[in-house]
Structure 1
Amino acid sequence: MLYQKNWARAWLGFGLVWFLGAIALAPSNKVYQQGLVLFLWLPTLVLAWSARAVLIEAWRRQPALWVSVVLLIAWCAISLAWSSVEEPGREAKRLVYIMVFLLAFPLLAQAGTARMRHLLQLGSGLLAVGALVSIVQFYGLQGHSLIRRLYGIGEISHPILGAYVVGIAALSLLYQVPGRRGAQLGWMLALACLAVFMMLSQSRGAVLAMLLTVVIAPLWWRNRHSRLVAALALVATALAFYVVYDRISARGSSYRPEIFAAVLQMIGEHPWTGLGLGASYKVLTVGMQFDHSHNMFTHVAVELGWPGMLLWVAVWLFTLAEIVRARHTPLGKLLLGLWIFSTLAMQFDAASLTATPRAEWFISWLVVGLVMLLPWGRAENDACGKISGST
């Protein structure tokens, strides 16, 4: 089969690494998007026919998740009928991008979930390089004071969204400790770069999401490493509050409660249809204007109404259900942390579910896609268990 060829697996694997690392390291967003077309969308479409049995099996193994995704995409497409967006064809094309992105993961799974974890590590390592370059450029070359909020390079330039991307990378590395001494040194340096980036971004939502995730992680990792990480996180947080409490509390709630109240009123004006996919809107409250709702779920409700938001909630909850089923596998444990971090992150910012691939995809579609690897991971673990039981 074509999709089983080594070159095909390498092509797709490079596409995933490009998605992860090039969001920071690509010279421009245009190059990043073109790379995704070449390294991820194109191989998925080329290999899809030969891998049709795999895709059918993916649907059979996770029917609720796939049905909810298809229904959400269909509702998004229907909402273009009443949307004020200037280029509905462009929005429809982005929906195709999402489906092709998700279809890539059952194909990637055929190389084994261990290889997928290695690809995640590689992509996260590249993001650590991006974090380091961002810090050196912003504070070293540009000469900004350390109390200034960090703006990263590439598509991690937004302090909040960039911190979410870096947070996903940090969690992808944090509980996968390499066995070799030299690799452990690189692992620690990468984590240090990612952690410093998050702190200097001054994104309280990202830091809080990370803190809560690592503090409860011992509940499912159940090892000394996870308990040590949780303890260190609590100590670091207490120290940060002691040293820079005034700076942490200076921005208050950043008008989030007022924005939330105003957005609920906007949702009430179009509860069933929303404004339509891609429709632009402004949130007016406390005499100020905000570009979006600063919350993924309310943003979806503004654009797609209650039906759209409920479908996205269904996708997200079925994603969790699949993770819970695989909670005893290494990938399942890793994804549980990513899901919790992403869920918390969505509450503080992120208002782009169906736009072209960008930072918000790391806390939404990437997690959904990675969950689509899990059925093959469970099969691998079952096979290993049978082999060890017979020896």
Structure 2
Amino acid sequence: MHSNRWLQALLSFGFLWFVLAIAFAPANKIYQQGLVALVWLPTLVLAWPARTLIGEYWRGQRVMCVLLLLLMAWATISLSWSQADDLSREFKRTLYIAVFILFFPILAASCPERIIRLLQWSGAGMALAALVSLIQFFVIRHNPWFARAEGLGELSHPILGAYVIGVVAVWTLLLPPRGRLMQVAWAAGLLFSAAFVVMSQSRGAVLALVLTMVLLPVWWRDRRALMISAGFIIAALAGFWLMEALMMARGSSFRPEIFAAAIKMISLHPWGGLGLGSPYNVFVAEGLKFDHSHNLFTHTAIELGLPGMLLWAGIWLTVLWESWRARDTDLGRCLVGVWVFSTLAMQFDAASLTGSPRAEWFISWLPIGLACVLVWARAPRHAVVKSRVQFNQ
């Protein structure tokens, strides 16, 4: 029992590492090595002792599990015609994703409250990362206020950094602390995170954040949701009035042209795609090309064909269904918000589905992993206690 508790603490630290070290780790190699030590290996060690939990997850979300297995199988089959430089590396990444999904039911151990606490603490850490990023970029490095803010570490890209900070801000907002002093720190952290998203000038991230907050009353039937929604509408109108020139200066950034070119590429290989991990370029004009489609669904279709895209869409809709069913719980309400933000975000800039852990995972595999825990968020209390006791034994 004590060894399992020790490993549970290790897994909790692994989750915090996944979220926070993407900003604070000194190098991507160290970030990846930390994930191996704190997420992949402990999950494999605990997989057999936690077989009861994994079985409950399978029975509670059988449709999602089957779709995930089918997607992994189809991605593996597509390696037979892929033009990827290293096929073994692509196969290894699919295994990493499978272990990452298993990580969450084992981490939760029938206790959704543990996940909520980890989300709250990681949200506080990322709010600090947003504040430090703004200070470093505008104060220490003396960039002009109209420059696009960059984050720390792997969040140095303005777009990807804004998406990560944005999705963390969504779950932080929907999981407020109880103590009055903590609520003051929570509100300040949300302000820092929102400021970073705005100052990154990532229009996709700003739009995703604003629309998520505006739609909040749809699944959170509470007066606070109405107040937040109204506040964001006013703030968005004021922000657009103040920063209209900056936001509109880059035009559409070729997004319509990229989408049209991506659809044409899909039509050339509709069933099998190019194969998992195959490099490609999207040509939108003579001499102008992009190395991905800037949309997670079209990217998946280009690599894995329409079967792969439909499987991914099925998984994603299942996450919404599971979250919506649990919207009366704290975790379920939080995940609906994360799903809405992620769905909007992946329409504009997501560049990878099966790559190594990176910023895109925050709007793809992380919501899926968190949705696994909803099995116990909805479960009767006596069933949760029983499975928790079996695992601890």
Question: Would you call these one fold, judging by a TM-score over 0.5?
Answer: yes
- Deviation, structure 1 residue 381: 5.8
1:285 counterpart SS class: strand
1:147 counterpart SS class: coil
Larger CA deviation: 26-35 vs 48-57? 48-57
Q: Which runs of 5+ in 1 are unaligned?
A: 385-391
| Equivalent position of 2:143 in the other structure | 144
| Equivalent position of 1:227 in the other structure | 226
Q: How do 1:1-391 residues align onto structure 2 when only pairs under 5 Å count? A: 5-110=4-109, 112-287=111-286, 288-380=288-380
Q: Distance in 1 between matches of 2:187 and 2:235?
A: 16
Does the CA contact (< 8 Å) of 1:2 and 1:50 recur in 2? no
For residues 2 and 67 of structure 1, do their structure 2 counterparts lie closer, same or farther at Cα, with a shift above 3 Å needed? farther
- Deviation, structure 1 residue 314: 1.0
- Deviation, structure 1 residue 183: 0.8
Letter in 1 for 2:52: A
- Deviation, structure 1 residue 375: 0.9
Letter in 1 for 2:130: A
For residues 138 and 284 of structure 1, do their structure 2 counterparts lie closer, same or farther at Cα, with a shift above 3 Å needed? same
2:283 counterpart SS class: strand
Q: State the identity as a percent.
A: 52
- Deviation, structure 1 residue 238: 0.7
For residues 33 and 200 of structure 1, do their structure 2 counterparts lie closer, same or farther at Cα, with a shift above 3 Å needed? same
For residues 119 and 111 of structure 1, do their structure 2 counterparts lie closer, same or farther at Cα, with a shift above 3 Å needed? farther
- Deviation, structure 1 residue 175: 2.1
For residues 381 and 56 of structure 1, do their structure 2 counterparts lie closer, same or farther at Cα, with a shift above 3 Å needed? closer
- Deviation, structure 1 residue 70: 0.7
Letter in 2 for 1:285: V
Q: Distance in 1 between matches of 2:260 and 2:2?
A: 53
Q: RMSD over aligned Cα, in angstroms?
A: 1.5
C-alpha distance after superposition, 1:161-209 (max 9, x if no partner): 1111111110111122222122112111211111111011101111111
Does the CA contact (< 8 Å) of 1:166 and 1:194 recur in 2? yes
- Deviation, structure 1 residue 383: 7.2
Q: Distance in 1 between matches of 2:175 and 2:299?
A: 34
Q: Distance in 1 between matches of 2:48 and 2:5?
A: 17
C-alpha distance after superposition, 1:49-77 (max 9, x if no partner): 11112212211111100000011011111
Letter in 1 for 2:137: F
Q: Distance in 2 between matches of 1:381 and 1:221?
A: 23
- What TM-score results when the alignment is normalised by the length of structure 2? 0.95
Q: Distance in 1 between matches of 2:188 and 2:341?
A: 22
1:92 counterpart SS class: helix
1:284 counterpart SS class: strand
- Deviation, structure 1 residue 230: 0.9
- What TM-score results when the alignment is normalised by the length of structure 1? 0.95
C-alpha distance after superposition, 1:34-60 (max 9, x if no partner): 111111111101111111122122111
- Deviation, structure 1 residue 6: 2.0
Q: Distance in 2 between matches of 1:354 and 1:115?
A: 27
Q: Distance in 2 between matches of 1:383 and 1:89?
A: 41
- Deviation, structure 1 residue 219: 2.0
Q: Distance in 1 between matches of 2:188 and 2:18?
A: 22
Letter in 1 for 2:322: E
The total of aligned residue pairs comes to 383
C-alpha distance after superposition, 1:265-319 (max 9, x if no partner): 1111111111111111111113311111000000000011111111101111111
Q: Distance in 2 between matches of 1:192 and 1:154?
A: 21
Does the CA contact (< 8 Å) of 1:9 and 1:111 recur in 2? no
| Equivalent position of 2:388 in the other structure | none
Q: Distance in 2 between matches of 1:176 and 1:275?
A: 41
Does the CA contact (< 8 Å) of 1:2 and 1:47 recur in 2? no
Does the CA contact (< 8 Å) of 1:131 and 1:194 recur in 2? yes
Q: Which runs of 5+ in 2 are unaligned?
A: 385-393
Does the CA contact (< 8 Å) of 1:175 and 1:226 recur in 2? no
Q: Distance in 2 between matches of 1:2 and 1:97?
A: 27
Does the CA contact (< 8 Å) of 1:151 and 1:158 recur in 2? yes
1:379 counterpart SS class: coil
Does the CA contact (< 8 Å) of 1:128 and 1:190 recur in 2? yes
Letter in 1 for 2:152: I
For residues 382 and 224 of structure 1, do their structure 2 counterparts lie closer, same or farther at Cα, with a shift above 3 Å needed? farther
- Deviation, structure 1 residue 82: 0.7
Q: Distance in 2 between matches of 1:239 and 1:60?
A: 48
1:348 counterpart SS class: coil
Does the CA contact (< 8 Å) of 1:329 and 1:381 recur in 2? no
Q: Which stretches of structure 1, 4 residues or longer, exceed 3 Å deviation after superposition? A: 380-384
For residues 53 and 210 of structure 1, do their structure 2 counterparts lie closer, same or farther at Cα, with a shift above 3 Å needed? same
Letter in 2 for 1:161: L
- Deviation, structure 1 residue 359: 0.6
